[in-house]
């Protein structure tokens, strides 16, 4: 896997109310794995997220990671937005993260994982340390999932 699209969802961070601490932590960890990272900071909710997910899928990004919006708050709609884009759910990865996570509150997460086209999409916690821990836990599974999904060559554009 050579690149990842990272989408951080936070009303307050996207409005400049506080600093986004998640992107630097996840970027550093991913770059340490030899992966190029493109990142976006969006407000919570599906309005901006659904088009961003679809655009990354269309660009054949192998893995999209979202962080935030997986809790019980009224604007925590990341799983619902993700389900609007994925074609097949891959519940085992999110279940594995919840079961193996180091914090009992991980079971409150509504995160999902699934496949859209030839892209894997995984929702991570909005808490910076939780997002990194979850990514580290899931990384071997994600690498396998992406490699399996991408065994065939990428489709060629009809425009050349």
Question: Would you state the structure tokens that stand for residue 89, as one six-digit string?
Answer: 């759910």
- Which fold is adopted by the domain 3-149? Molybdenum Cofactor Biosythetic Enzyme; Chain A (3.40.980)
pTM: 0.93
11-19 contacts: CB < 8 A, separation 24 or more?
Answer: 11/43, 11/44, 11/75, 13/41, 14/41, 14/42, 14/43, 15/43
What's the pLDDT at 156? 58
What's the pLDDT at 102? 74
d(CA 30, CA 36): 7
* 3-state SS, one letter per residue, for the chain: CCEEEEEEECHHHHCCCCCCCHHHHHHHHHHHCCCEEEEEEECCCHHHHHHHHHHHHHCCCCEEEEECCCCCCCCCCHHHHHHHHCCEECHHHHHHHHHHCCCHHHHHCCCCEEEECCEEEEEECCCHHHHHHHHHHHHHHHHHHHHHHCCCCCCCCCCC
What's the pLDDT at 122? 98
Q: Where are the domains of the chain?
A: 3-149
Q: Which mean pLDDT values do the consecutive 10-residue runs of the chain (160 residues) have?
A: 96 95 98 98 97 98 97 95 98 95 82 98 96 97 96 59
């Amino acid at each position: 896997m050579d690149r990842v699209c990272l989408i951080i969802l936070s009303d307050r961070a996207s409005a400049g109310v506080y600093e986004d601490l998640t992107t630097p932590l996840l970027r550093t960890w991913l770059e340490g794995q030899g992966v190029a990272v493109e990142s976006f900071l969006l407000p919570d909710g599906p309005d901006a997220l659904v088009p961003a997910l679809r655009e990354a899928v269309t660009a054949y990004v192998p893995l999209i990671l979202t962080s935030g919006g997986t809790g019980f708050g009224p604007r925590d709609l990341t799983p619902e937005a993700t389900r609007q884009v994925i074609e097949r759910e891959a519940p085992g990865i999110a279940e594995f993260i919840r079961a193996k996570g180091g914090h009992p509150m991980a079971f409150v997460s509504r995160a999902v994982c699934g496949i859209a086209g030839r892209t894997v999409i995984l929702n991570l916690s909005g808490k910076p340390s939780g997002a990194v821990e979850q990514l580290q836990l899931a990384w071997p599974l994600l690498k396998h999932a992406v490699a399996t999904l991408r065994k065939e060559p990428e489709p060629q554009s009809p425009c050349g």
